[in-house]
Chain A
Amino acid sequence: MTDAALAPPPPVSGEVAVQITGMNKWYGQFHVLRDIDLTVTKGERIVICGPSGSGKSTLIRCINRLEEHQSGQIVVDGTELTSNLKNVDKVRSEVGMVFQHFNLFPHLTVLENCTLAPIWVRKVPKREAEETAMHFLHKVRIPEQAHKYPGQLSGGQQQRVAIARSLCMRPKIMLFDEPTSALDPEMIKEVLDTMIELARDGMTMLCVTHEMGFAQAVANRVIFMDQGQIVEQNTPREFFNNPRSERSKLFLSQILGH
């Protein structure tokens, strides 16, 4: 076995969606992300896993600059993320994000949650924004909840609204930060089904999750991180059946062991 075995599988298509080279990030003295190199091509579905505190969430939060990196380069859809606010705005309107705790706006109805950004960022007419919102609420199968408030919905429904809210901005890339970790077991499936459907439609996705069933079903690459580094990346089949590094073997035995 050489390092060649740890190399990523060939990309799906040629076009690059996200290009990260030599990226480092510190929280004060703490080195959270070390020398991250990652190329995501359009249409790829990537699952990022690893023990807690390994920097998975921080990595995807750097992609829409909810976190700033200190060195290296991140290019998203041809735009480099720097302190230039115009670039940040551009990237954020192209990249959707779904959070662990949904973060829906509790003072707005489901429909208003979905139309807020299209109206104020994309300057879409309200009628049109509402039509788009209803389209995506149909897609996540909760159009009948459009006029309720987030507090009136179950966790699974809220997360599906959050996915619809992101899709209303017609993003090119979707980031998922542990989207099912805060859900009751019976609600995880409805959210995963929605995500699988999204993957089938060809969305570029980066997903931090421990749902290995989801990884095997839709991911074309699994990235394993530990202590701020990308330790291993491979196809799901290879990664689960034949993990290369000791750390990923240990991790897999822990999460699959029971």
Chain B
Amino acid sequence: MTIAAEPPRRAFRPSQLINDSRYRGLTIQVVALLLLAGLIAYLGHNLVVNLRALGKDFDFGFLGNRAGYDIGQTLISYTNNDTHARAALVGMLNTLLVAALGCVTATVIGVLAGVLRLSKNWLIGRLMTVYVELFRNVPLLLWIVLVHAVLSNATPIPAEFRGEGATASMVFGVIAFTAQGTFIPWPVWGEGAELLTVVLLLSILAALVWRSYARRRQMATGRPLPVLWVALAILVLPTVLAFLLLGRPVTFDVPTMRETGIARFNGGVNILNSLVALWFALALYTGAFIAEIVRGGILAVSRGQSEAAFALGLRPGRTMRLVILPQALRVIVPPLISQYLNLTKNTSLAVAVGYADLRATLGGVTMNQTGRELESILLLGLFYLVVSLVISGAMNVYNRRIALKER
């Protein structure tokens, strides 16, 4: 038995770095890396020199100083005696609040509009087309300003709610839409409220247990059990019963018009028009894009799939739920992630209506008062980057779970 001689090896020549496909890629990468490093070093040096010339340093110490300004809407307690860091946190939470509200609402609107746009009903289909084209072809900023203008100008001022000759009245006697915002009742936790919470949590658990029991039972006997109605009953009845038995431990602080003095509402919680405007405009605008993504996803599933399901005797609703949507999701989720990221970053358009998001607190008042542009903008960018990466990371995990298995 002989062993084949190795092919003759030729000595390495420098010209191979450019001409040889084995080395050329490496050469290009090394050169590109060196150029990039040089560029970054140059910009960094430039920054240091210019900051020194201006007499500025690079320091995050200002975050510990007193902020000294008020914020209209806060999710956590905050006064103007708190630090800039606390103000930034308030802004951060406000950004996350409007982003979360927007993503959920946009998804609901988008899925509904997307499915309905495929409807055979001429009127519904056309209406959805009008919605989609109208909202995605006009800049978001215009929609935010428009919704805010409608909310602020079409609603009455608080004074109109007062007295015998009031020209405005509260919806159901508890909610007041005013030019200054929407006043809604807010729950007040009294004695025994903890027990009520426990009951509520237990009934949520019980409803979930019922759902899985119904599914197992259907698999065992073939007979489907009613899930929705029973689950609703389990959710509502024990909580209502406990609420009454415990002597109404939770009361609602209802907004009321002051009898005398300046006309304003006492009690309840005021949801500023700027938040509602931003929320609705973001949801409607992004919802139009999501509608198109959902429609495209459903259309991407071949007609043969629904025909096969019909031929087996499945009804259209079941076909959609069991056959079409699970496959459409694979096409829908990746672009949906982009829309969530867009919406989250678009919350910075809050500047148009004066909503106190992170850009308005840290990137606005704080930056102007302290003159710490570099630090503020860096933190601001870092925040949006981290939030976006977390969203896309979580969604990618979901996407991998629903991916199709081939080979």
Contact = CB atoms under 8 A, between A and B. Distances in A.
A240 interface: no
A125 B308 contact: no
Q: Which of A101, A106, A119, A151 has the most CB of B within 10 A?
A: A106
Interface in A122-159: 122-129, 149, 151-152
B337 to A, nearest CB: 20
Interface stretch (A13-21, A88-96, A184-192, A209-217): A88-96
A71 B223 CA distance: 39
B313 A125 contact: no
A123 B276 CA distance: 47
Contacts of A169: 312-313
Given A92-B310, A92-B312, A127-B220, A120 B323 contact: no
24 contacts: A64-B310, A66-B307, A92-B311, A95-B311, A99-B304, A99-B307, A99-B308, A103-B302, A103-B304, A103-B307, A105-B305, A106-B327, A107-B327, A107-B330, A117-B309, A117-B314, A119-B222, A120-B314, A121-B313, A123-B222, A125-B219, A126-B220, A127-B220, A165-B312
Contact of A121 (B220, B312, B326, B330): B312
A107 B326 contact: yes
B224 A105 contact: no
Interface string B330-364: 10000000000000000000000000000000000
A124 B223 CA distance: 8
A124 B313 CA distance: 14
Interface residues of A, number: 35
Contact of B322 (A103, A116, A122, A127): A116
Interface in B201-243: 218-224
A97 interface: yes
Interface stretch (B155-163, B387-395, B399-407): B399-407
Interface string B282-324: 0000000000000000000010110111111111001000110
Contacts of B312: 92-93, 96, 116-117, 121, 165-166, 169
B322 A120 contact: yes
A247 B404 CA distance: 47
Contacts of B308: 97, 99, 103-105, 162
Contact of A151 (B309, B323, B407): B407
A47 B223 CA distance: 39
The 5 tightest CB contacts between A and B, nearest first, are: A151-B406, A126-B219, A103-B308, A117-B312, A93-B313
A121 B314 CA distance: 6
Given A107-B326, A121-B312, 17 more contacts: A64-B310, A95-B311, A97-B311, A99-B308, A101-B304, A103-B304, A103-B305, A103-B307, A105-B308, A105-B327, A116-B322, A117-B312, A120-B314, A123-B222, A125-B221, A126-B219, A151-B407
A122 to B, nearest CB: 8
Nearest to B325: A107
B315 to A, nearest CB: 7
Contacts of A121: 312-314
Contacts of A120: 314, 318, 322
A85 to B, nearest CB: 8
Interface residues of B, number: 29
Contacts of A152: 405-407
Contacts of B222: 119, 122-126, 128-129
Nearest to B407: A152
A117 B312 CA distance: 6
Nearest to A93: B313
Nearest to B326: A107
A126 B218 CA distance: 8
Contacts of B323: 105, 116
Contacts of A92: 310-313
A159 to B, nearest CB: 12
A58 to B, nearest CB: 13
B404 A107 contact: yes
Contacts of B224: 123
Nearest to B406: A151
A89 B315 contact: yes
A126 B312 CA distance: 17
A102 B89 CA distance: 57
Scoring B222, B307, B311, B322 by chain A CB atoms within 10 A of each residue's CB, the highest score goes to B311
Interface in A103-117: 103-107, 116-117
A79 B312 CA distance: 17
A58 B21 CA distance: 56
A105 to B, nearest CB: 6
A136 to B, nearest CB: 14
Nearest to B216: A126
A5 B406 CA distance: 53
A128 to B, nearest CB: 7
B311 to A, nearest CB: 4
A128 B405 CA distance: 26
A120 to B, nearest CB: 6
Given A107-B326, A124-B222, A125-B220, A64 B304 contact: no
